[in-house]
Structure 1
C-alpha cells in the first residue's frame, strides 16, 4: 500500500504543475488506476471488523477541518454537533491535496493525531475515500466503526465510486435527497444527518463599502466555488435572468439603474475558464459587479446579509448551505425547486423556480454524460427578481418566513440528537 500512497500524494501535490504538461483526463485515468488497483486488493488486505471495547466509546472526526469549501464546513458542522450534546470526540485535520484554501482556524487548538475512540466519522468525498484509506493507513480503519459523511448531487451514483462502500460500515448524508440516492447502491445503513447553520456576521466591519459595492442599489448576489463545477452551479442562468428582468434595453437599464447584480467566485484559480466565460456575458452591463478571491467565513456570511437577495439557479445540490445561511440572516432566496435544498425551502420561505430535467450532453467531471439534472426556468426567475424589487410586502414576507424557518428547523440541537442516538445504537446502548 505504501507505493500507491506515495504516488497519489505526490501526484496531488504536483497537480498544478502536472496539468500543464499532461492532460487532466490522463491524470485522472492514472489516479483512478491506482485507486482501482488498491480497491481490488482490499479483500486480501481487509479491514478488521469493529470490535466493541477495543477503543473508548466516542468519535474521531477526520476531515478537512481548516478547509474554506463546503467539505470543510461540513466537517466543522459535525464538530459542533458533537459539542452540542457533549459527545466525547477528537478532531483530526486531514485533506486530500490540493484541498483548496485552508484558512479556517475555528478548531486549530483542538487538533490531534491521536484517535482514541471507536467510531470514525470521515468527511472525505466518496471519490477520494480510497485515497484517504491509503494516506491515513489501514490501522486507522481497523477495529473501528467507520462512517463516511458523503454528499452527492445527482440521483445516480458514479460506478467508479462504488468500491468506497467497502471502506465504510455506514454512510451519513446531509439530506434525504442524497440518502435516497445512496440507498440504491448499498445494503449498509445510510442515515440523514442534516446540515445546520448559525452564521456569524459583522455588518459594521464588513459593510458594503468594505466589499466595494454601491450602498444605494438593490443588490442580487450569485456566489459559488469554481471547484464545485460552474455548469452545476449555473451562474449564467442567474445572469441571464437578471438581464431579462432589468437590462434588456437602454430604457429598462435607465428605469432600473438602482438595481445591481454581484457575482462572487471563490477558488477562481481552479478554473480560469470560468472567469473568461462570465466576463464575456457581463461586459455589456455596468451594474454587474464581479468579485473574486478568498474571504473568511464571517466575511462571507456578512456579504450574504449585506445584499438584498441571494440567487441560486443551480442544476443540483446535495444540500445547499449558502441558501440556508442566506435565509438565516434574513436575505430572501430565489432557488431552483429541485434537489437537496427543497428539504428546507418551499414557496412560503423562498422563491422557488420551476425547471425542466435535462440530460448532460457531455462529461462535466465528476458528472457524467447521460445523467440528468434540473434546468431552471430563467423567465420565472426574472419575474421573481422584479417582484422582490418592486413588491415590498412580498419581499418582507419571504425574508421573514425564510429566516424564521431556518432558525427553527436548521438548529444544531435537532441534528445533534440524531448523531447522539445513532452513536448510542452503534455502542449497543438502545
Structure 2
C-alpha cells in the first residue's frame, strides 16, 4: 500500500471525529493535495506498451463497485454491460477514502481483487487515478491496454488532472457531452459508452415507508452532498416550488433526498433559511439501498433537477424509466436521453462560476435554470392531468429507446474488437 493511500485510510477511519472538528470542504482539499503530491512525477513514468498475448483476453474492471454513490452505480452499470457481453471479466474493488458508505453487494460474486486479463477498464476519475496507479501498482498497467472510464460535468477541465491522461491508452465516458469536452484536452482516443439504464423498485418501499403523505402531489429532488450542493442546485428547486405554490397549499409537497449525514446537517440548516414558513418540505437524509432510492423516485409524482451541470444525469433517466415525469435543466449530458416531448426541459443562461467550488474553478461555466419556467411546469403537471400523462408515457418510451442494452453491448464489443485487431 502506498504511503498516500495509507494516510487516506487513516483519514477515513478518523472521519467521524474529523468532520466534527474540521469542515468537510477542508478534508476534501487535504485529500486532493495528497493525491496531487503523489502525481507530480507520473508523467515521467514509462508504462510498458500493450502486449495482447501477455495475458488472457478479457477485462479487469477496476473501481469502487460497492459504493452507495452515483460513481458506484455508474461502475455497476458498466459491469452490467460486461455481464451481457461475450467478454470474460473480473472486478478489482478499488476504493479511495474518505468517502461514503459501501454496502452494495450486487457484484460481490465477480470481485476477485486480481487483474489477470489483458485490458484494464479503470472506473476511477482523473482526480484519483494517480493514487490508483501508485496503489494498485505499475505491474497492473504494464503490457495491458488501459482504458479510463471517466465522468465530468463541465466543458472546462482542471489542468492539475491532465497527467492522468498519461496513465491511459484511451478514455471512455457515458455521454458525448463529456467525450467532446475531453477531446479538447488530449490527442488520445475518447469514446462514448452510454449506460443501459435499469431501475429495479420494490412496492414495499412506499410513501408509508418514507413517512410521506399519501394525499399530496409530491415533487422530489435528490443529490449527494459529496457531488456538491451548488451543482445540483436544490435551492433552485425550492424557489421554483415556492413560486408555483403558496404556503397555504396543502395539496402539494417537496421531498429533498440527500446522502452523507456529516454534510447534510449543514445543508439542511442552509436550506431551512430559504423555506419562508413552508412546512410541506420533507427531508430524507439516510443512506438507502439502490432499490429503495428507485422506489422513492417511483412513489412521488415528479422528479425535479434544476442542475447546473451533469455528466450523465442517471437519476433523471431512472425516473423516466419508472414513469415519474421529470423537470430538468436543458443543458449538459441529460439532453442526450430526454427532449421537450419526453420531459419538461427548462431554459437556462450560461454563467461563469464566480468563485472556486472544488473541483470547479472560478471562471468555468455552467447553467442557471429559469426558475420561473420550472415553477410553471410544476404548476401545470400538478393541475393538468392530460399533460402529466403525456409526459409520463413519452418519458418511458423515449428512455427505453435511448438506453437499450444491446446498443451499449455492441459499442463495447466493437471497440474492444478494434483494439485487438489494430495490435495484431
- If the length of structure 2 is used for normalisation, what is the TM-score? 0.95
User: Deviation above 6 Å: which 4+ runs of structure 1?
Assistant: 22-26
Question: Residues 112 and 379 of structure 1: is their aligned pair in 2 closer, same or farther, counting only changes over 3 Å?
Answer: same
Number of the residue aligned with 2:395: 402
Superposition deviation, residue 364 in structure 1: 1.0
Superposition deviation, residue 196 in structure 1: 2.0
Deviations 1:232-291 (A, max 9, x none): 0000000000011002xx5xx2xx321111111112323432121112223611211111
- Alignment equivalent of 2:385, drawn from 367, 374, 392: 392
Within the alignment, does 1:307 sit opposite 2:261 as a pair? no
Alignment of 1:358-377 (within 5 A): 358-377=351-370
**Quick check: 1:208–1:306 contact (8 Å CA) kept in 2?**
yes
Number of the residue aligned with 2:82: 82
**Distance in 1 (alpha carbons) for counterparts of 2:322 and 2:218:** 15
Deviations 1:358-393 (A, max 9, x none): 111111111111111100011000000011011111
Q: How many residues align?
A: 423
Number of the residue aligned with 1:217: 216
Deviations 1:140-182 (A, max 9, x none): 1111111111010110001111111011111001101100110
- Structure 1 vs Structure 2 CA RMSD: 2.0
**Distance in 1 (alpha carbons) for counterparts of 2:132 and 2:285:** 30
Superposition deviation, residue 33 in structure 1: 5.1
**Distance in 2 (alpha carbons) for counterparts of 1:25 and 1:104:** 26
Alignment of 1:135-154 (within 5 A): 135-154=135-154
**Distance in 2 (alpha carbons) for counterparts of 1:299 and 1:2:** 36
Alignment of 1:285-364 (within 5 A): 285-364=278-357
Question: Residues 13 and 46 of structure 1: is their aligned pair in 2 closer, same or farther, counting only changes over 3 Å?
Answer: farther
Superposition deviation, residue 401 in structure 1: 0.3
**Quick check: 1:5–1:131 contact (8 Å CA) kept in 2?**
yes
Question: Residues 206 and 165 of structure 1: is their aligned pair in 2 closer, same or farther, counting only changes over 3 Å?
Answer: same
Describe the SS at the equivalent of 1:428.
helix
Number of the residue aligned with 1:265: 258
Superposition deviation, residue 20 in structure 1: 5.7
**Distance in 2 (alpha carbons) for counterparts of 1:194 and 1:135:** 28
Superposition deviation, residue 22 in structure 1: 6.2
Number of the residue aligned with 2:225: 226
- If the length of structure 1 is used for normalisation, what is the TM-score? 0.93
Question: Residues 293 and 88 of structure 1: is their aligned pair in 2 closer, same or farther, counting only changes over 3 Å?
Answer: same
Describe the SS at the equivalent of 1:405.
helix
Question: Residues 306 and 71 of structure 1: is their aligned pair in 2 closer, same or farther, counting only changes over 3 Å?
Answer: same
Describe the SS at the equivalent of 1:427.
helix
Gaps of 5+ in 1: none
Number of the residue aligned with 1:380: 373
**Distance in 1 (alpha carbons) for counterparts of 2:379 and 2:28:** 44
Bigger mean CA offset, 34-43 vs 297-306: 34-43
Question: Residues 336 and 290 of structure 1: is their aligned pair in 2 closer, same or farther, counting only changes over 3 Å?
Answer: same
Number of the residue aligned with 1:196: 196
Superposition deviation, residue 28 in structure 1: 5.8
Number of the residue aligned with 2:63: 63
Question: Residues 38 and 327 of structure 1: is their aligned pair in 2 closer, same or farther, counting only changes over 3 Å?
Answer: same
**Distance in 1 (alpha carbons) for counterparts of 2:64 and 2:235:** 30
Describe the SS at the equivalent of 1:282.
coil
Question: Residues 398 and 136 of structure 1: is their aligned pair in 2 closer, same or farther, counting only changes over 3 Å?
Answer: same
Within the alignment, does 1:425 sit opposite 2:424 as a pair? no
